[in-house]
Amino acid sequence: MTKIRNGCSIFSLAKDFNFSLITIRVNEVNKYIFLFGALILSCTFTSAQTTQKLGYVDSQTILTQLPESIKAQGDLDALTNKWTAQLDSMTQSYQQALADYQKQANNMPDDKKLSAQQKLIAQEQSLIDFRRQKFGQGTGEIYKKQEELFNPVKEKIYKAIEEVAKRESMQFVFDKSGDIILLYADSAFDITYQVLDKLKRGN
């Protein structure tokens, strides 16, 4: 199974596919970064006497060890490989047909040449349509499958993080695998393995 790429957060589960058609979604993380900073700053000024307890997780660790995540990634890889193989086969077939036409075009009567050209155009269009249908940016079936496979995983992780955070009396939990950069993190506030243990035990 393809290893889940570094930097992949539970906020933006995705996989790099052939043709660079699928990218990690980080916009929904970015739009909250400012809000986190503003909220923490506000708490500093308005409640200087109150201690805010923060925690963090490494979602990369969770994703690579959680069985449901591993299975989801494997299923997504298998589907991607299947569709990529189909696309490669269609491409090779088109290229062969084009090469055959180019060799024979000079000896073809006009009506046969026109017919061959129309078949090549149709074959090329079929190739383009298949690529768009399966891997089209934002609209391809691979996106829908990704959401179908990973949404239950994300929801389970979110719930476990919430429960551990409440148990540890933490107001905020960050993910150090995503775009929220931690320049320093005291391991005493790392709840990654508490979350992972809760997920694996199922309680």
Domain boundaries, the chain: 18-201
pLDDT tens string 69-79: 999 999 999 99
Classify strands 54-57 and 172-175 as parallel, antiparallel or unpaired.
parallel
pLDDT in tens, 46-70: 444 457 788 889 888 999 999 999 9
pLDDT tens digits for 106-148? 999 999 999 999 999 999 999 999 999 999 988 999 999 999 9
CB contact at 8 A, 22 and 13: no
User: Model pTM?
Assistant: 0.67
CATH of 18-201, picked from 1.10.357.10, 3.40.1280.10, 3.30.910.20, 3.90.1150.10, is: 3.30.910.20
Q: Hey, is 7 helix, strand or coil?
A: coil
In the structure encoding, which two tokens stand for residue 5, read together?
Answer: 């790429």
pLDDT of 181 reads 57
Q: Do the beta carbons of residue 60 and residue 8 sit within 8 Å?
A: yes
